Each structure stands twice: as structure tokens, then as C-alpha cells.
Structure 1
Amino acid sequence: MDFSGSWLKVEPELVKSVHRAVLEKWGAKALQYTDPAGAPEPRRALEELVGGLGLTGFRAFFTNGLGDSLRILAFAHLEKPCVRLEDPTSQEALRAFEHCADSRLAYIQPIWRNPDGYTYSEDEIKRVASEVPLVVYDLTYGLLSGRRVPIYGSAVAVASFHALFPGLALGFIAAPEELYEVYLEYVQSAYLHPPTYLQYLFYTALKEGAVGEVFASLKRRARAVEELLGVVATPYFAWVEARNPEIFLKHGAVPGGEFTRRRRLGKCLRLGLTSATEEEIARFFSSLPPEELQDVGHCREL
């Protein structure tokens, strides 16, 4: 049993079929260098995906992951990486940015925040945008949510694709034209070109429906956890507290304190659902004594 959420467990045949399709349809093109912003077909698909979230008119390019995207923003905007961070927040943001009171950027995950699954209201987003010159939206877990992101003031979007399909070690930055050119110039000068093959893997997995199959599987896992524990879960993780946290920690669950600088969140745990199948989740919880399940619930220590 693996509650780490550090990888994406799906049927091996699905993964094989997509890789075969990449080689059959794109062949040597997928193995060559391409434009720094990305190969044309994958980049168009990326901008369509971003536009569907409400970021109309934004241009997008691929990066080597969320960490790369955040470091590019820090380099472009900050003498030192001083950013107003939501709390709790992703470990990538904690590593990339330094928190301080007088911030020039704000970083939020507006949909299904990691680790607690919180979704910001439109009023909350509007308030954040009124307090800083630029808001960075991390859409890693909201890409397939079907929700549109309300944009106020100046904004850019980033994300990682690691939860869309196994081995998809890519991210992106999407921005209005004037900022897009600034970021892309840095990518070109630093030669941070993501592998062309991974770009076509993203494109093929998306267009062939494999990304949708993976997301449907993750939603089933979330429903299973909700029914078994009586908590609210996202397709990617559940935020719980337990009288005996060790039963989850020894299977890779991440303590809440890993996602914060300001509060301990000592009673909270993130159960990653990407690394365990629906059947494994059901077997695991059926093996626990009933009294253990009674003492597990949604963590509200925020």
C-alpha cells in the first residue's frame, strides 16, 4: 500500500499503448530538438487546455516541471524570491520561494489546493489580486476539474503534468503576451528545453483519451475514500486526521507539517491517491479494525 502520492499507478497496458502511439504517429519527430516554446501540435493543445480554464488570450510554453516554472518566475520578477504564499501549500513552492510580508507576487493553488483540497472562492481570489502586483496560479490539480479560474489584475499560470499520465515530467507557464516573451527569453538563454518526446507524450495521451481514463480512475479512488472514511477527497489526495496516524505514515502518507512554514498542522496527514489503486484502497481499509476507521476524519486544523 502506498499513500505517498509521489507517482501515478495505472494499468501498464494503457501506458504502453500511448508510448506505441507516439512512436507510430510521430516517429523521429518526437526524438528531435524543437522550438524552445515547444513542438507546434503539443503547444496548441496546451493553449487549448489553458484557455478552457478561463485563461483566454494567454500564451503557453512547456517547462521541465513545476519547480522549473516557479524558478523562471522568481528569476524574472524578484531580486530575491520573496512571495506571499498560501498556507498550507505545495512543497515545490516552499522550496522555490521565500516568504515575507512585503511581497511582489502571490502564489495560490485556486482549485484543489495541495495538501488539503481547498478551492478558493471568487471573492478570495479577487482579494489576493488586489494586494499584490501579480498572482501566480498553480493549476496542477485543477487542470481537469472542469472549473474556470476567475482572473483579476495581472496573473500567470503554472502547473505540473505529473498527475495527468505516468512519466509525464513536464510543466508549463501560461501568461499574457508581454510576460510570455520575458519568460521565454529566459528559457532560450538558459537552454531549458523540455524533451520533445515528452511533449508528444502529453499530446498523444490527451488526444487519445488516456488522460481522461487516468482521471476517471482517480475520481473512483476519491469516491472510495469518501465512502470509507466519510471525508471529502480530491482525485489526488485526501486530508485527514487519525487517532493513530502511524497506520498511514508507515504506508507513505505525508505529515501536514511538510506543507507549511508557519503552522505545525501536527494532526493532519495527506493521503496520496495517485499511487494506490481503487482495489488496493478498499483492501487496505477493510483490513483495519473498525475502531481505527471510526477515529479517522477530515482534518480541520488550519
Structure 2
Amino acid sequence: MRKRKKKIAGLNGGYVMPTSFASSPKSDSGLLKVQISAPLNGSGSANAFVYSPTEPGGLGHSRSWFTYEELVEATNGFSVQNLLGEGGFGCVYKGYLPDGREIAVKQLKIGGGQGEREFKAEVEIISRIHHRHLVSLVGYCISQNQRLLVYDYVSNNNLCFHLHGEGRSVLDWATRVKVAAGAARGLAYLHEDCHPRIIHRDIKSSNILLDNNLEARVSDFGLAKLALDTNSHVTTRVMGTFGYMAPEYASSGKLTEKSDVFSFGVVLLELITGRKPVDASQPLGDESLVEWVSYESDLLTVLLLLNQP
């Protein structure tokens, strides 16, 4: 009789803003720190904040900043009707620029400090990159205690919804392969073509957005880290999502590109099996997709041979 360890069920899903898990802080050795300054005027306001990307990139081909009033107008006053998703770090709203361009506006919660760190990380990192399988950052806004990020709107929700959401149509096998290949290309660009390398640190199905052609775009770089090419790994505090985190990273805080590869492997298992990474509705011992697959490897082989997800 086989023994199985009981797993703690976590939350997953959401449009762009699912809650992530964080451990106690550790050192951030080997990281390139975000070069952002926030000069204050005499009243203590942060309106004088100035951001200048250290390298040209994703922001270089379009407008880089917006006033708060412009984004209020674009999102119809951040109305509930425009709400796309929400989570531990803030909310995402759909909006329209005066030229008709569709955007997604992420309004970050700053109070706990994580929102500020996420804002700086996203602006710094996305300003360096531009790839057809990565979500493009249009710009940002800083006004008093507001931190907002403006992205191109990706119209067809995310992979998590298409796999697990209610009322969705089932993805055929060819589409699943297409999505996997697109996300893999975006991830490979971060790991192989960016210098310094970029480790996403939160690869999961809800962070893979799909456009109308079901092309994948990796999103949400709020937890990403820049790693010096001279370092074999980065030691940092553990953050990510239950069910996707590589065990060696979760236990030691040592982060490498392989941590992203493990998480992407979990996404592939989702695509193949149609199961969630952590599912409390499953029998005791089968809540974890990774552990279930390790026990049911023969079943997984049959699924692959049949070409039926």
C-alpha cells in the first residue's frame, strides 16, 4: 500500500492578480537593484517622483507615463464594470485611451510595501524587454499614494480560465500545444536572450494571457528578478504560488532559471490533464497535481499516446 504525503491546498486562478505566497525575508545577493528615485517636494508629496529606465526597451516604443486623471477617465472612474480581476496586490481594470487603444490598468496596493516593490520591479524589468509572447507595458502612473501600471489589453482572458473556468469551451489538443509553445518562447527569451537574465518567479496558468488568436503572452513581472550572468543562482526570499514553486527554491530560497522551468512544467501538466495544480476537491493525498502525476505516471503516458488532453 503506497503512502502519500498530505499537501496543503492553496489558492490559484484569477485574471491577472492572484495572491502570491511570501516567506520571511532573506538576502537579495546577486540581484541588480531597481534604479528608481523618488525625490520629495517640501510638502512630502511623491508627485516629483521621476523614473528613468536604465536601458531602452519595452517603454521606448510608446508613451511611458500617464497622469492619474487620464487613467480615471480611461477606466470610467475605475468602475466595477471595468474590473477585470483582483488579488492580494491590487486590481486590474479595462480602459480606453483617447485614440481608442484598449489597455489594462493595474492599480497596486501600496500600504504593505509589496505593491511598491512590485511596481518598481515591473517598470524596471518590462522596460528592458519586447517580445511577441510577453505582455507589453504601455506606461505607468505615480500620483500621491497611487501606483498604476498600464499594459496592452489582452482580450481573451488567461489560460487558467480556459482550462478551469465555468462556461468556457474546451481547448483542443492543437490549441494547447500552440499555447505551450508560445509561452515557452517567451520564457526562453527571458532566460537566454536578456542580459542580465530575467527569472520570472511566478509562472502559472493565470499569468499566461491569451489573445483572440489564442497566442500566449506571459504577464505579471512583479516578482521577477534580474540575475547577474556571473552568478549560478540568486538567493532571495521565497515568493510565488503554491502548487507551482520548485521544491528546492521553496526550501532554500536559491532561485535559478530552473525554478521557472519547474513552474512551466506544472503548467504543461495542467494542459495535459486538465487538472488544477492544487485541488482540495480531490481525494486525500491527490490534491497536488505534481504528486498525483508521479503516482499515476502510467495514466499520463496513456493520455499522451492518445493525444487527448
| TM-score category of the 2 structures, normalised to the smaller one | 0.3 to 0.5
Q: TM-score, normalised by structure 2?
A: 0.32
Q: Which structure's residues are more often helix, by fraction?
A: 1
Q: TM-score, normalised by structure 1?
A: 0.33
